[in-house]
A and B are shown apart, each in its own frame.
Chain A
């Protein structure tokens, strides 16, 4: 394909590591999904935003609200995405509920309790009244600013949605960092499990490319890649399988050289973990491994960017 053995080596390594990166990303994605990483981080981020210690944990109340609660698959599930508009709408209702008075009257004869609910009919007015019931806090100050900039419910929802969207930009950064940590761990595990020595791989591929080019396919060049653990020594020992494996693996590393192996692994880990977001984008074009449904379309372009990696 390539006349230059170097180019051929680069291309081969590129495709080998592309496949491995897809494999690593899939594992990372699977773990994230099992651990509900997206949902948990979103929950944490909203808690940071709305858990007002001087008043109430509005994040908790927001998640209890049907507007958000219905996004859950089941009780254990946390939504991975919350649309900015849904968030804003729900938050307005949660704060407005603070102005709602639920009171009880008892029937003098049957002594049964009757609940009565007194609330503002206009959501915008109710939101402002709800804010009035709160003690002074950062959250109250911020929400009051929004309500003062808005003249009606629609504007208020838009203000809050835009604020949420900007905040989600930061949350995206948090998620990327947490993803990177997990990727490094998975890359490390895959590298060791497959004995993925970049240096050994590169030299082996180069050697094969060289042979192929020189002989112009006149010989049956071996196409075996140095992946996995190859044990040359026979251990006729009666020790357990695990002990035998570790002993053989150790011997193999010793034969290759400790530093050589360590550097080779390190390069592999760096390539697998640093390149993962890029491969993930590529992977998305092939198959949607996320299994969390397609991202909802939104008129909020900014939020769309913000949610991209969430």
Chain B
């Protein structure tokens, strides 16, 4: 018998109206991406999808595109919910694309959240939205006010946690985030941060000086070493995707966790499938996957977990059999077992297959119901419970 509700801690339901014109540049040549965006905005997405499905190179993206183009957040959420048993809790992660440098975006972050509010209103128990936050939104105080607006004891807006997406152009140790971390740590509010080289990144024509001069509210030896390395300093002509990887580096979180060791932080994707596979194949302990592991297993002088609320999730990579095999080992490790979360990264994974089938495949390959319940029931319950929300 199940110990509680099942959770998927990593899903997305935003659509193409919530992303800037340049969003597809993350995946396609810029000119093609902008042409595609223009065609989609002109309402030609459907015939376009019809054409693209006939080409082997593009056919796998069709499901992903169709969801992104033709469905409202509510419809996407309903489709997602249909893939799971009734009552499954789904953490929905919006993204703040306002500072991505991608040009025109029909719906800014505030509009995206308003639309997400409606999804929450219609699914108060099963939809668990996180609050998207980019520190460039305002000053430290303004960012804190923004978070407090949603997490208030008098009028709790139903948001369960905070979502960061540093690849869009900020360092997670940005001083404008410090009060937010403090507030989150004090109230047990979970934070999920993107951590894989795959995904969206800043696509502006140039980086502003503040974006390439890391200023930390709590510099630690790890980040000093990382950013003093000339290899990691911005050079003109450097590809955006390459520099944006630095925003995502797991070491950045040493600065955050050293200041707020009790912070509930989910460094998502376990570093990414490529990083996991690199470790599995080479075992050189130089992958993001390994760095996250190290942080999760770090202990203090008394042998206690140094960052007891540091989590990771296996979203996006959960469909890969080799990764599942590796995950079984991690779940067998008592130092990690209680902090690995089940998430899928729907609908980014729609290019690989149907959510229900992929989840079924994952459970089958995992072949360990106790481990499944641990990562989809117990661990999320601990991660998501805060002063504002008690996860059932």
- A112 near B125 with CB under 8 A, answer yes
Q: Which of B111, B389, B390 contacts A57 (CB 8 A)?
A: B111
Q: Which of A53, A56, A64, A105 contacts B156 (CB 8 A)?
A: A105
A45 proximal to B (CB < 8 A)? no
Chain B nearest Cβ from A115, distance in angstroms: 5
Which residues of A have CB within 8 Å of B111?
A: 56-57, 60-61
Considering the chains assembled together, what is the distance between the CA atoms of A236 and B177 in angstroms? 81
Q: Which residue of chain A is the closest to B152 with respect to CB atoms?
A: A103
Q: Which residue of chain B is the closest to A108 with respect to CB atoms?
A: B390
Considering the chains assembled together, what is the distance between the CA atoms of A68 and B155 in angstroms? 30
Question: How many chain B residues have a CB neighbour from A under 8 Å?
Answer: 23
- A60 near B17 with CB under 8 A, answer yes
A225 proximal to B (CB < 8 A)? no
Question: How many chain A residues have a CB neighbour from B under 8 Å?
Answer: 25
- B110 near A55 with CB under 8 A, answer yes
B208 proximal to A (CB < 8 A)? no
Which residues of A have CB within 8 Å of B115?
A: 64
CB under 8 Å from chain B, chain A span 110-142? 110-115, 118
Chain A nearest Cβ from B222, distance in angstroms: 38
A40 proximal to B (CB < 8 A)? yes
CB under 8 Å from chain A, chain B span 322-352? none
A102 proximal to B (CB < 8 A)? yes
B392 proximal to A (CB < 8 A)? yes
- A56 near B125 with CB under 8 A, answer no
Q: What mask results when residues 123 to 162 of chain B are scored 1 for a CB within 8 Å of chain A, else 0?
A: 0110000000000000000000000000010111110000
Q: Which residue of chain A is the closest to B155 with respect to CB atoms?
A: A103
A61/B114 contact (C-beta < 8 A), A53-B108, A56-B108, A102-B158 known:
yes
Considering the chains assembled together, what is the distance between the CA atoms of A110 and B391 in angstroms? 11
Which residues of B have CB within 8 Å of A112?
A: 124-125
- B106 near A47 with CB under 8 A, answer yes
Considering the chains assembled together, what is the distance between the CA atoms of A101 and B155 in angstroms? 8
Q: Which of A40, A57, A105, A106 contacts B107 (CB 8 A)?
A: A57
- A113 near B108 with CB under 8 A, answer no
Which residues of A have CB within 8 Å of B152?
A: 103
Q: Which residue of chain A is the closest to B115 with respect to CB atoms?
A: A64
Considering the chains assembled together, what is the distance between the CA atoms of A110 and B390 in angstroms? 10
- B106 near A51 with CB under 8 A, answer yes
Q: Which residue of chain B is the closest to A117 with respect to CB atoms?
A: B121
A104 proximal to B (CB < 8 A)? yes
Which residues of A have CB within 8 Å of B156?
A: 103-105
Q: What mask results when residues 152 to 193 of chain B are scored 1 for a CB within 8 Å of chain A, else 0?
A: 101111100000000000000000000000000000000000
A26 proximal to B (CB < 8 A)? no
CB under 8 Å from chain A, chain B span 15-36? 17
Q: Which of B43, B106, B114, B157 contacts A104 (CB 8 A)?
A: B157
The interface centre, meaning the residue of A53, A103, A104, A112 with most chain B CB atoms within 10 A of its CB, is: A104
- B392 near A56 with CB under 8 A, answer no
Considering the chains assembled together, what is the distance between the CA atoms of A61 and B116 in angstroms? 12
B117 proximal to A (CB < 8 A)? yes
A213 proximal to B (CB < 8 A)? no
CB under 8 Å from chain B, chain A span 87-113? 101-106, 110-113
Which residues of A have CB within 8 Å of B17?
A: 60
- B158 near A115 with CB under 8 A, answer yes
- A60 near B106 with CB under 8 A, answer yes
- A106 near B110 with CB under 8 A, answer no
A36 proximal to B (CB < 8 A)? yes
- B108 near A57 with CB under 8 A, answer yes
- B43 near A40 with CB under 8 A, answer yes
Which residues of B have CB within 8 Å of A61?
A: 111, 114
- A102 near B117 with CB under 8 A, answer yes
Which residues of A have CB within 8 Å of B114?
A: 56, 61
Chain B nearest Cβ from A178, distance in angstroms: 13
In the complex, besides A111-B392, A113-B125, 9 extra interface pairs with C-beta distance below 8 angstroms are A55-B110, A56-B108, A56-B114, A60-B107, A61-B114, A104-B157, A106-B390, A111-B391, A113-B124
A-B CB proximity, top 9 nearest: A103-B155, A113-B124, A111-B392, A104-B158, A57-B111, A56-B111, A56-B110, A57-B107, A115-B124
Residue ranges of B at the interface with A (Cβ–Cβ < 8 Å): 17, 43, 106-108, 110-111, 114-115, 117, 121, 124-125, 152, 154-158, 389-392
Interchain Cβ contacts under 8 Å between A and B, 14 examples: A40-B43, A51-B106, A56-B108, A56-B110, A60-B17, A61-B114, A102-B158, A103-B154, A103-B158, A104-B158, A106-B390, A111-B392, A113-B125, A115-B124
